[in-house]
Each structure stands twice: as C-alpha cells, then as structure tokens.
A and B are shown apart, each in its own frame.
Chain A
Amino acid sequence: MIHPLLAIDVGWGTTLAIKTVIVLGIVPLTALILGYTFLLKMMSHMQSRLGPMDPGGFHGWFQLIGDGIKFLQKEDIMPGEADRRVFALAPAIVVLSTFLVFVVIPAGPRIRVASLDSVGMFNGVGVFYALAVSSLSVIGVLMAGWASSNKYALLGALRAAAQLIAYELPLVLAVVGVVIQAGTMSLQGIVSFQQHGALFGFSGLGFPLILTQFIGFAIFMVAAQAELTQPPFDMPVAESELVAGYMVEYTGFRFLFFFIGEFGTAFAFAALAATLFLGGWSVPWVHGTAADLLGPFVLFAKVMLVAFLMFWARFTYPRFREDQLQAIAWKWLIPIALFNILLTGVLKVAFT
C-alpha cells in the first residue's frame, strides 16, 4: 500500500501499528493540553489567581505531566469489599470509548485513522459511529459505582447513568439537522460540504454549518456539557456532596484513566462540534497537500475555541439538581431539537 502523503510503501500491519500508536499518544496529549490550558490556567485567571507557576519553570506547564507521574507511582488500593474485576475494568471501558471516538475524526483530507466512508454496507457512517461509541462510557460509570461498594459512589453512578442516558437524545437529534443539511453522515463529507459550500453565492468563507444550525449547535454544546458531567451538569461528581461520586474509591493509575477519559472526551466532543459545525480541518481556499499539512492545526484551533466555551460555562454556573437536569433534557432540549430537525427538513426541501 502506498502511503498517500509520504509515498512510502508500508504494509497494512505497519500502518495499523502507526495509527494505533498515534491515537494512543494523541488522546492523553490532548487531555493534557486541554486540562492545562483551561482547567489550570483559564480557570485560575478567571478566579483572580495564577494557577500553577513553578513546575517546569514557564507558567507551570509541567504540572499535569507531573500529576500523571504522581498518579502512576501511587499504591493501587482497592476497597476490601469491591468486586475486583469489575472495579479494574471500569476505567478501561470509559477510556475505551474515548479512543474509539478519536478514530473517526478527520484531521485533513487524507489524514484520518479509519475511513468509515465505504465500509461494506455502512456507506459513510462517521457521525453515527461516533455518537454510538461515545455512549459506551455509561457502562463504565455504572460499573465503577457498583464495584466500589460505597453508598456515595453508587449514588453518583446512578445519577450519572440517568443523566448520560437522558442527554444522549438531544445530542443525537442536534446532529441530525447537520446531517440533513449536509446530506451525508460521513464526517469527511460534512467537512467538504462546509469547505465547498457558498454563502449567498460568496464561496470565499465556505459554509460553516453553525450559521444555519445555530440551534443545533447550542443544543449540542449543552448536551455535550452534560455528557461530560461538567458543571452545570455535574451532579454525579458533585464535589461538595459526594466528593467525586462514582470515582471516589479510585486512586492512582485508575483515577488517571478517569481523568484522561474526562478530558479526552471533552476534546473529542469539541472536535466533533468543530467538525460538524465549524468546518473541521478545512480552510476554504486551501486544498490538497497543503490542507493535509495545515488541517491538524486548523482543527486544533477550532477545538480550542469550542472547548473555551465549554470550560467557561463550567466555572461560572452552579450545578443543577438531578430532577431539574432531567427536566431540561426531556422537556426543553428534545422538543427544541425536534423542532430544529423539522425546520431544517422543510427549509432544505424548499431551497433545493
């Protein structure tokens, strides 16, 4: 197989190995970057303090890496009455879903880990796959809460399961509007739709779908916030009540998994939002190999923008109570999302 970019002949096994290594490396790296920039630095500055300044010398950039090393060398404590196998497996499942989402996010016209554009009968199912796989983490959360043999953890896990399941629907429905407008479920297809689209005949800026799908974007952001159990939807990990909820019995390496899972998924959802609504890796007038080289950076910039919004909401708002949270999902977000789909469908037919 000729690698399109490097024009080197590598077998499929080596390609697979390279791609695996890249994904395994990228996910913690993105978690790190997001965590440092937004959680440590942006939050601190918004709270009129500086955040970590010493580790690494320049504004404490080494802080999270140091935290990671610290977690790795901690003693692995398991509660005496915990269900050992389930306890050990739970963080792995949560992180697994993160990795699986990264598999389909395109970072350039030919840079992607797996192309689900023409896999047998699944003609172009990137979006479908991403949303389906991101909901695997619910199982991991439930496993973690149950296996901890701790009332607080169980309470947190049950809250989390209810919340995550409730907010899956608005998430999916918000994306349906995008799919209708772009006409394809493949992520690459959606990106190229936005790149080659035209705004009132002016094709210089492409056609980022956020312009027409702003309702969908808003719902997606709210639902993503809830999927990540971030404030204002962080009842499951309500710090002042349950003290980390379902993660309370986890320490060391396993807690690191949860942490990577949380921030990696934040990056993944932000990347999905950037791809679906902001145009992903594409800049309208750049094509071909240049796009391959520029794509990852463009995507990164857009992801940081979206993540900025998510984390900003995180530090500002108090948390919703569980029943208020459910009411928002079922009584507000789903009807609005359905209305959005209706509107998109009608307008698409009317203007085509």
Chain B
Amino acid sequence: MADVETPAGPALREEAADALRRLQSELGDAIVEDGIAFGDVVVRVQRDVWKRAAEVCKDGLDLDYLSFIAGIDWMPAPAVSEEGSGDTSSPAQPKEQTYGAAGSAGRFQLFAVVESTRRKHWRVILKTDLPDDDARADSWVAVYPGADWHEREAWEMFGFVFDGHPSLRHLYLPSEFEGHPLRKDYPLLAREVKPWPGLVDVEPMPGEAGEGDEAGETA
C-alpha cells in the first residue's frame, strides 16, 4: 500500500498527479483550471465537455464508480439579521464572493466526484461553471446511470437543467414546491420565523413572581 499520509498542507498525492496528467492529455484545452483539495485533484472543465469528461473518466481513467454530482452556489448568503443586533445564531461568513479550489467563473458551479473500485486512492473531482442565466449542462445518465437521482436533486435544489435526462422531476420536495432551496438567496425559513437562540422564552415556575412578564435575556 502506497504511502498515504494525509499531507499537512495542500499537495497532490502521486496518484492524483497521475490522474491530472492523464486528464490533461485527453481533454487538453477544455480544462480551464486545476486545483488541489487536500491531496485530491480538482479539475474545472468547460461546460460543453462536461459529458465528455465523464466518458474520459469512466473509459480512459478506469473511474467506474460515481460518488455524487452536486452544485455549489458561491454567492455569500444574505445576512439573516442586521449587523450589531448581537444575533450570534449563525456563523458569520465572509461577505465577499471568493471561490475555492480550481476557482470559478461565477456564482454557480456543478461538481462531481468519481472514484475507482479497482485501484487505490484513484479519484477525481470535476467542476464546471454554469452561467447564472442559463444553468444547463449535459446529463451524465448515459455514462453513469446513477447520475439520474443526483441530477434530479441538483435540479431541485439549485435549478440546474440537465439536457438528456430521462425525467427531471422533484426528488425530495413535493411536486408543487416553488423555488430552489440550496441557493443562497433562498432563506432558511426557520430562522426568519423565530430568531434563534436570540430571545429565549422562559416560562416562570408556577407561583413565582414574574408570571405574565416578558421573556428572559439573550443567550
């Protein structure tokens, strides 16, 4: 078994570097950028070679196992409460839109992880950018049949449309659901309805003074 110390900082594992080389030789210019995610290679390809990249991975690189396909919305989430209100219920994320490994051209990205069941530590993370106004990509169902449900979920949660998918319909949510929940501008309704842990209703013990008083203090 090859040496598999998790690197202290970002550095490609030797298998990952090998995979990157093979992808570069197959896809050439279609690779926009590549990056590292703690030992794994992240390859950002152009949208029109999204399906071809899958075929290259499955047939050429022996990556026969589909882990998942999902989306990323890089827009910073709008603040749930105003600044200075002391509401520490959600972790404060940075306000600027920055991108992760292998960068991004814009807000939406589609990414997938494919692995191999026959070789050790052999996996590739593929990313592609989707323009905001036309979030479409080719479906992977012909290459990896398991993409069926993952793409349905990505459509449902982000609004990405997959050309060539047999039936793009709701997976988790009821059929009349409106909106795409995992987009950053879709609010987490629970927090809007009742800010948490902010105001805590403390019910006084029966007989104690303060029955009928207002709530207690912020946590």
Does A touch B (CB under 8 Å) in the complex?
no
